Structure 1
Amino acid sequence: MRRVKVKTPGTCGEFIQGWFDDNPCLVSCPIDRYSSITIEEGPGNLNRLKPKTVKLIEEVFRLYAIPNEEKEKLHITMDTEIPLEKGMASSTADIAGMAAGLSEYFGLGLTPKEIGALCAVIEPSDNLMFSELNLFNHLNGAVLKNFDGCVEADLIIVDFHGGIDTMSFNETQDDYSDKDLETFSEIVNLFEKGVRTKSLKDIGAACTKSAFLNQKRLKKQYLEEITTLSKRFGGLGTVIGHSGTVIGVMYKKENFQEAEFIKALKTHIPETAYAELYFNHLIPGGITVSQEEI
């Protein structure tokens, strides 16, 4: 018998998100907070899984003509460190991880691009399945632009109260003026330049501009205060869940006054406004899969 283990990162929302060349798109912001899945032979337990996960499994079985009786032999265990309904890709991590796990278990050889397209069939999805960054149409799974690299830095995430159902979040262009579309094109170019030249300053500036552009779609009450504090204490910029509730501050430890920032944050923002502070790292994306005989 075989056992497949899968580890998929969550995100602190998106580095950038908007409309580009008539496409809704985003660049996910992967962090070291994970969804874990184990797939092995045993008593079937699909009825205990989340509906979106079951829908993904059904889609894989249909597309790749896997006999339905195999479902009765799948015993799946899932666990996650990713908070739900915060814009931190908890759902995408689950379904992308499941797609990668089933690919390994049944020898399907799915690529990150194929996994991304599969996930987009189920719901608007993040592109955390790719090891390098790209501009991703989260509605149909198309890759619009590849970026040569990834971003690695430190991150403080403020988890504000409340939650957003991304399935019902407005995914139309109606909220974007021609000026907004021009601004987002500039944001994409600045982000691309930052990744290419490994300039965290340019990357942080692009993220912050995208966060403020998103304010008319889903306003975050304390974005201005957090951005001001980030600049004051040496942060690189703010990263948000564009369709969620989290705000992150990107920084490098050697240049950031972390203790002073936390103290000022607690002075300027009521502790009743947020649930928790997370201390994480920005990492390359990609799904880790391993198989063992048992």
Structure 2
Amino acid sequence: MIHSGICHGTLGELFQGPYIQNDKLHIGVISLPIKKYSSMHFELGINGDIGTDLPEKEKCQRAVDIYLARHQLNLPQGRWSHDSELIQGKGMASSTADMVATIRCLDSLFAISSSAETISSILREVERSDSVFLDHYALYLSDQQQVINGFGNEPVFHACYIDEGDIVDTEQAGKPLLAYYAREWPAYARNLDHMIQAFLQQDLPAIARCATTSALLSQGVIPKRHLDTLLDMQAHFRADGIVVAHTGSLLGYLFIRRPGCREMGELAAFFRSLGYQCRFAQTGF
């Protein structure tokens, strides 16, 4: 028998910036879920070893150890396998999605239903992570694995995006981000207030505008080479906003209305003129 776990990734964040809790500065994120997934499989009864089966997934191996210890369980004989549509080091929450898929695979194996709080507590022991285990949007403290505000499972956006090619080490980026956020706190605080109000009112154009502002603010710490070009052409393509992976290399347009085939062709030509193949995806839950 094969047991599997699945977890979606993200197309960066609608917002990433500072959040103060108990007089301490944290990194707050409102991730943009994307309909691309990480999959983890366990084939029961087959000879296997997790270190050999998943040699480059040390964090997943650590999550397995924590899970088994918490539930006082032993892993039966079996073989692990993994597949993912999420590119590593680009801002798609691939590492967190891999771990969540692993936990859900173990849940299937042992007939357990791990709560969001349980999953976040396991992630907390491994790394600063994303909120991909939730089924709704949230303002989430990535270092504390804590939900500050939940916003429901809308909106849905249609995205056209590119990968500029850089690989960003999320852990190494933490200190420079916090230093920059401390300097730029007032601008981030205003944008976060606007974003929260936009979510509460389900104002999709305002959410997209706040995402654009967040992308612009991030230029001061992990800049995107083509953001200015996208801004210049945004009105031409009638895009509602711009989204970036704040600690990654992805950036692109957000549309409330799905672009038609002709519009998609124009977008593809534009991004090809910049030297990139664009991708189209639906975001949201």
- Report the TM-score, using the length of structure 2 for normalisation: 0.88
CA displacement at 1:143 relative to structure 2: 1.0
Task: Tell me the CA shift for residue 255 of structure 1.
Answer: 6.6
**Alpha-carbon distance in structure 1 between the residues aligned to 2:35 and 2:141:** 23
Equivalences for residues 82-97 of structure 1 within 5 A: 82-97=86-101
Partners of 1:117 and 1:33 in 2: how far apart?
24
Inter-partner Cα distance in structure 2 for 1:12 and 1:34:
12
Tell me what 2:36 maps to: 33
Q: Tell me how far apart the structure 2 counterparts of residues 84 and 177 of structure 1 sit (CA, whole Å).
A: 28
Work out which structure has the larger RCO, using CA pairs closer than 8 Å and 6 or more positions apart in sequence.
1
Residue 287 of structure 1 corresponds to none
Give the equivalent residue in structure 2 for 1:141. Answer: 145
Cα gap change, 1:181/1:87 in structure 2, threshold over 3 Å: closer, same or farther?
same
Q: d(CA) in 2 for partners of 1:255 and 1:66?
A: 49
1:23 alignment partner AA: H
Corresponding position of 1:262: 268
- What does 1:97-176 correspond to in 2, within 5 Å? 97-171=101-175, 173-176=178-181
Match of 2:73 among 66, 79, 86: 66
- Aligned-partner Cα distance in 1 for 2:124–2:65: 14
Check the 8 A contact 1:234/1:255 in 2, yes or no. no
**AA aligned opposite 2:265:** A
Equivalent pair of 1:118/1:141 in contact (CA under 8 Å): no
2:62 to 55, 69, 78: 55
Q: Summarize the Cα distance change of 1:18–1:223 in structure 2 as closer, same or farther, 3 Å threshold.
A: same
Preserved contact between residue 117 and residue 140 of structure 1 (Cα < 8 Å)? no
Distance 1:203 1:151 in 2: 9
Deviation digits for residues 31-57 of structure 1 (CA, Å, limit 9, x no counterpart):
111111222312232012111111111
Q: Distance in 1 between matches of 2:235 and 2:182?
A: 28
Instruction: State the partner residue of 2:230.
Output: 226
Moved more, 88-97 or 161-170: 161-170
| Residue 12 (structure 2) aligns with | 13
Percent of residue pairs bearing the same amino acid type: 22
SS in 2 for 1:58: helix
Q: 110-119 or 47-56: which moved more?
A: 110-119
Q: 8 Å contact 1:112–1:130 — kept in the other structure?
A: yes
For 2:136 and 2:267, the matched residues in 1 are separated by: 30
Query: Is 1:251 aligned to 2:239, yes or no?
Result: no
Find the counterpart in structure 1 of residue 27 from structure 2: 24
Q: Distance in 1 between matches of 2:166 and 2:268?
A: 22
Is the 1:86–1:244 Cα contact (8 Å) retained in structure 2? Answer: yes
- Contact kept in structure 2, 1:147 and 1:195, CA below 8 Å: yes
In structure 2, distance between residues paired with 1:157 and 1:242:
14
Conserved 8 A contact 2:28-2:140:
yes
CA deviation vs aligned residue, 1:214-252 (integer Å, no higher than 9, x gap): 111111111111122223211011111111000021113
Shift of 1:254: 5.3
SS of the residue 2:235 aligns to:
helix
Segments of 5+ residues of structure 2 without an aligned counterpart are none
Q: Distance in 1 between matches of 2:128 and 2:266?
A: 38
Q: Is the CA contact 1:12–1:248 (under 8 Å) kept in the aligned structure 2? A: no
Q: Secondary structure at the match of 2:63?
A: helix
**d(CA) in 2 for partners of 1:211 and 1:74?**
44
Count of residue pairs the alignment pairs up: 274
Unpaired runs of at least 5, structure 1 = 285-294
Report what 1:202 is aligned to: 206
Give yes or no for the alignment of 1:192 onto 2:199: no
Matched with 1:4 is: 3
Query: Contact 1:14–1:27 at 8 Å: present in 2 too?
Result: yes
Aligned residues of 1:24 and 1:138 also touching (Cα < 8 A): yes
User: Aligned equivalents of 2:6 and 2:157: distance in 1?
Assistant: 20
